[in-house]
Amino acid sequence: MASPLSRRQFAVALVCGPALIRPAVAQAPSSPAWLAIEKAARGQTVYFNAWGGSARINDYLKWAAAEVARLHGVTVEHVKVTDTADVVKRVRTEKSAGRLQGGSVDLVWINGENFLAMKREGLLFGPFAESLPSYVGVDTVGKPTTRLDFSEPVNGMEAPWGMAQLTFYADSARLPKPPGSMAALLDYARTHPGRISYPRPPDFMGTTFIKQAWLEHAVDKAALYKPYNAERFAETTAELWRFLDELHPHLWRQGKQFPNNAITIRQMMADGELHLGLTFNPNEAANEIAAHRLPSAIRSYQFESGTIGNTHFLAIPFNANASAGAQVFANFLLSPMAQARKADIKVWGDPTVLAIDKLTSADRQLFSQGQQPGQVEQVRPTLPEPHGSWVDPLEKEWVRRYGR
């Protein structure tokens, strides 16, 4: 990676000049290097490519953009995308065409296999993340996935933005003791046929469901955290397919059809058609209860031995036209004010990447919301994601077996 890094730094230096100089540790807000970045950022327009499927998230980004415009003179345009893989393809195409400066993407919301592809192909600007002034508040000890993206070292090439953990939710009036493992879920499906389902992969929630089942049934779990090995694929997934073969006949529509996404499942939960929902945001059910889209009896929980969790990030492409502005915006999104607003159930409810105990007492107060109806009452261990290189072959094999 050393040689491609040097080329990226040289290309961006032509645009940003001294703003490129970054120390290995977080800078003070008033350090000469950071002040140079803020100066270069003023007047820039940052094209932030991020999923646009949530009104709550879109409203939050409007607020953040207005704050950065007011504080730093940086304009942020939210480019709403449905699939981050399309953004990766665009940056890859620009590199192939020799467009080493003035790229169309300045900042991208990313993680998993998309980050892995950009890192391996030299499509990222950086390292920049750990030199952001706000990075000093990031919890890199209690939340190790802030430096590890789907078992791939981040190496400062993307800035942590929010936390996610597979969370289930059920109507406590209908299901007072929900299944606490994949084995228990299978037992429940057998006795309540048609009341359980999961999204069809490659929807990321559907893929997360099968990865959770994979982790619980894998004989050699260590293999899952190493890069994909084609020769060992059949061996490492055999128990997963056995489990799904047993589960599918008891699912909604006998496993011959699957809901398109977790939003569809949430609606089916609200209608009473399904007994169990799933999300990657531990606060989602609380959000939906507050918005009167789910009944107040809904309770969120995680499997007793833990569920898959990860961090989602912000990355800057190697040829970003406004790399200084992108750093300023990313730094703001990591600030206690922005993180607390994002974590607020009434705003978004996305868990923070910050270590609350590292903050000042005033900043800690920003996060004091109290327990809300529908929130997870007992947080279970976070199971790290398998290596991102397994995702594509896993999804393709699922489609081959079950994707009619």
Alpha-carbon gap, residue 332 to 338, rounded angstroms? 7
The reply to whether 347 and 269 lie within a common domain is: no
Mean pLDDT: which of 144-148, 171-175, 247-251 is highest? 247-251
The b-or-e profile of 334-360 (16+ CB within 10 A means b, else e) is: bbbebbbbbbbbebbbbbbbbbbeebe
Same domain, 204 and 285: yes
- Do 304 and 322 have their domain in common? no
Report the pLDDT value the prediction gives residue 1, as an integer from 0 to 100. Answer: 31
**One domain, residues 219 and 84:** no
SS3 123: coil
Give the pairing of strands 45-51 and 107-110: parallel
Inform me whether the pLDDT recorded for 232 exceeds 90. yes
Residue 221 lies in a domain: yes
Q: Are residues 348 and 209 in the same domain?
A: no
- Predicted confidence at residue 30, as pLDDT, reads 80
The alpha helices in 42-79, defined as continuous H runs, are: 55-72
Residue 28 banded pLDDT, cuts 50, 70, 90: confident
Q: Which amino acid is at 196?
A: I
Q: Is 86 part of a structural domain of the chain? A: yes
Same domain? For 75 and 192 the reply is: no
Region 272-281: mean pLDDT is 94
In a domain, 370, yes or no: no
Which stretch of 118-127, 180-189, 325-334, 376-385 has the lowest confidence by average pLDDT?
A: 376-385
> How would you class 6 by CB atoms within 10 Å of its CB: exposed for 0-12, middle for 13-18, buried for 19 or more?
exposed
Residue 372 lies in a domain: no
Lowest average pLDDT, out of 33-42, 194-203, 260-269, 369-378, goes to: 369-378
| C-beta of residue 167 within 8 angstroms of C-beta of residue 376 | yes
202 shares its domain with 303: yes
At 197, which CATH number?
A: 3.40.190.10
Whole-angstrom distance, CA of residue 345 vs CA of residue 358: 22
* Reported confidence tier of residue 23, pLDDT bands at 50, 70, 90: very low
pLDDT tier for residue 25 given thresholds of 50, 70 and 90: low
Residue 155 lies in a domain: yes
| Count of the separate structural domains present in the chain | 2
Closest CA to 273 of 283, 261, 264, 286: 264
By residue count, the chain amounts to 404
Residues 348 and 388 in one domain: no
pLDDT above 70: residue 6: no
What are all long-range contacts of 353-360, with beta carbons under 8 Å and residues at least 24 apart?
A: 353/138, 353/139, 353/143, 353/146, 353/160, 353/161, 353/162, 353/163, 353/311, 354/137, 354/138, 354/139, 355/137, 355/138, 355/139, 355/141, 355/142, 355/143, 358/136, 358/137, 358/139, 359/137
pLDDT digits (tens, 9 = 90+) for 324-358: 999 999 999 999 999 999 999 889 989 999 999 98
- Is position 157 within any domain? yes
Q: Which amino acid is at 242?
A: R
H-type helices in 50-111, by residue range?
Answer: 55-72, 84-96
pLDDT at 207 over 80: yes
Q: Is 127 helix (H, G, I), strand (E, B) or coil?
A: coil
pLDDT value at 371 more than 80: no
Residue 373 lies in a domain: no
pLDDT score at 32: 94
Task: Give the chain's mean pLDDT.
Answer: 91
178 in the same domain as 59? no
Q: Both 180 and 95 in a single domain?
A: no
Q: What average pLDDT score do residues 62-82 get? A: 97
Structure tokens at 256: 């011959």
**Residue 47 falls within a domain, yes or no?**
yes
* Omega within 30 of 0 (cis) for the link into 282: no
Say whether both 210 and 133 belong to one domain: no
Band (pLDDT 50/70/90 cuts) for residue 2 is very low
DSSP 8-state secondary structure symbol assigned to residue 301: E
Range of the domain at 95: 2-162+311-365
How confident is the model over 76-101, as pLDDT tens digits?
999 999 999 999 999 999 999 999 99
Query: Do 249 and 393 sit in the same domain of this protein?
Result: yes
